[in-house]
């Protein structure tokens, strides 16, 4: 009986403990569920706050206006001295002396080279000897005439002998003239052994060295001499550019138009602009059938010798455009070899528009099509814009200021 009561008591305690454990588990699950719901609600609240639309960016906007402006177009140019002379020998012989060095400045008449003169001096001596013999023969012929003249008058000898003597005199006189010419030719050849500068200028390369055998028929000259107190810059215009170029200036002929052309600038190889402006003074008579271009020449002063023959550069030519549309380079972006701007519509939303560039004026592009007068474009901050994005326009007068300065 006692054992049954004990077992019943243990059973009741076990049931109470089981119920108590279940209550604790239920409460814990309830708490965890509540915490999880709270976390989800907080997360959703933060997410909704993060997705709130930011205010549209404030960006400078300008309404495009047409104006008259001048664009600078650049054309590759090759530079030559006003006089580029090939120095060649006029007689053959050994190059005995070289008086100048490469790159040296020489004046007109200054000796440059010396060819061995000994053979030519001997030719001169031989010619002088022939001259003296011809002079003696002429004297002898004259003496013969003087001897026969009175004898003919006295009819001691026939007149035929006198005529023969006079003919011999004429032959001797001709031989004397020939001898004098030979002496002159020998002196000229002797003079050719000293080669002098035909103009003042700068010496080019010296391919021949002292002791070399030189000849007038050599393919390569002794050197090249460039007179660069003024230089010529040759450049080419395509047919369309040349037509537009001519249309800007009045005049019935090309010569009349050339007189009214403005000065041009020369951009050197280091992208610096040459200090002196030049003047276009020649237009070629015809287009090159291979390139479809015509050559023009501009002359630049070069008193300091800054420019040399063989230099390269770019001629910067100003061309006037009426009703031009200018867009700052900073307002454009390049993508896949195309240039775009962002236009702004009445709802202040932007649209990416492709443009065609035909020139450059300062820091602005000259636009052919893609935008027109009255269109509004975004001037800066375009790198983060998206198609159809709304902005807060801020008016700018940047373009107007640029145009007014032109």
Query: Lowest-pLDDT range, 176-180, 208-212, 334-338?
Result: 334-338
Distances (CA, A) of 22 to 10, 106, 235: 18, 117, 100
Assess contact for 279 and 264: CB atoms under 8 A.
yes
* In-domain check, residue 177: yes
Under the banding of pLDDT at 50, 70 and 90, the label for residue 405 is very low
**Position of tokens 């080019």?**
204
Query: Lowest-pLDDT range, 40-44, 52-56, 124-128, 282-286?
Result: 40-44
In CATH, what number is assigned to the domain containing residue 290? Answer: 2.40.30.170
pTM above 0.85, yes or no: no
In CATH, what number is assigned to the domain containing residue 365? Answer: 2.40.420.20
Share of the chain above pLDDT 90, in %: 36
Distances (CA, A) of 141 to 149, 159, 171, 182: 12, 16, 9, 21
Assess contact for 109 and 201: CB atoms under 8 A.
no
CA distance 28 to 167: 156
* In-domain check, residue 35: no
Residue pLDDT, tens place only, 100-122:
999 899 999 999 999 999 999 99
Nearest one of 196, 190, 221, 227 to 207, comparing CA atoms = 221
* Tokens representing residue 272 in the block: 């610096």
Same domain, 366 and 331: yes
Question: What is the extent of the structural domain holding 163?
Answer: 96-214
Same domain, 243 and 314: yes
Final residue of a structural domain among 165, 185, 214: 214
Same domain, 306 and 355: no
* In-domain check, residue 160: yes
The better pLDDT of the pair 359, 280 is held by 280
- Range ranked top by mean pLDDT from 7-11, 100-104, 364-368, 386-390: 100-104
pLDDT at 46 over 80: no
pLDDT at 406 over 50: no
Can you give the pLDDT at residue 2? 42
Mean per-residue pLDDT, 340-345:
89
Number of domains in the chain: 3
Residue pLDDT, tens place only, 277-328:
999 999 998 898 888 899 999 999 998 888 888 889 999 887 777 778 888 8
Mean per-residue pLDDT, 213-219:
92
Under the banding of pLDDT at 50, 70 and 90, the label for residue 391 is confident
* In-domain check, residue 303: yes
């Amino acid at each position: 009986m006692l054992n049954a009561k004990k077992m019943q008591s243990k059973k009741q305690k076990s049931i109470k403990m089981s119920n108590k454990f279940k209550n604790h588990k239920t409460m814990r699950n309830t708490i965890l569920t509540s915490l999880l719901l709270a976390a989800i609600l907080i997360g959703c609240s933060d997410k909704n706050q993060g997705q709130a639309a930011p205010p549209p960016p404030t960006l400078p906007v300008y309404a495009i206006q047409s104006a008259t402006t001048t664009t600078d177009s650049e054309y590759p140019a090759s530079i030559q001295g006003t006089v580029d002379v090939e120095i060649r020998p006029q007689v053959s012989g050994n190059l005995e002396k070289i008086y100048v060095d490469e790159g040296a400045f020489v004046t007109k008449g200054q000796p440059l080279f010396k060819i061995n003169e000994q053979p030519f001096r001997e030719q001169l001596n031989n010619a002088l000897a022939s001259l003296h013999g011809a002079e003696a023969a002429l004297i002898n012929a004259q003496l013969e005439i003087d001897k026969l003249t009175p004898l003919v008058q006295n009819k001691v000898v026939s007149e035929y002998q006198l005529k023969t003597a006079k003919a011999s005199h004429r032959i001797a006189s001709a031989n004397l003239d020939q001898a004098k010419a030979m002496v002159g030719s020998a002196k000229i050849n002797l003079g050719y052994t000293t080669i002098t500068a035909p103009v003042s200028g700068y010496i080019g390369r010296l391919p021949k060295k002292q002791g070399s055998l030189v000849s007038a028929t050599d393919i390569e000259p002794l050197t090249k001499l460039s007179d660069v107190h003024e230089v010529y810059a040759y450049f080419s215009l395509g047919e369309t550019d040349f037509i537009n170029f001519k249309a800007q200036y009045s005049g019935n002929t090309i010569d009349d138009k050339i007189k009214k052309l403005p000065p041009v600038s020369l951009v050197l190889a280091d992208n610096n602009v040459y200090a002196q402006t030049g003047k276009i003074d020649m237009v070629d008579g015809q287009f090159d059938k291979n390139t479809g271009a015509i050559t023009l020449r501009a002359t630049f002063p070069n008193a300091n010798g800054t420019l040399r023959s063989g230099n390269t550069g770019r001629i910067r030519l100003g061309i006037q455009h009426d009703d031009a549309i200018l867009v700052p380079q900073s307002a454009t972006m390049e993508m896949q070899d195309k240039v775009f701007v962002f236009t702004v519509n009445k709802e202040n939303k932007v649209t990416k528009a492709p443009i065609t560039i035909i020139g450059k004026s300062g820091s602005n592009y000259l636009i052919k099509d893609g935008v027109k007068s009255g269109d509004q474009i975004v001037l800066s901050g375009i790198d983060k814009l998206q198609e159809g994005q709304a902005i807060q326009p801020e008016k700018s007068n940047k373009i107007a200021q640029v145009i007014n300065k032109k």
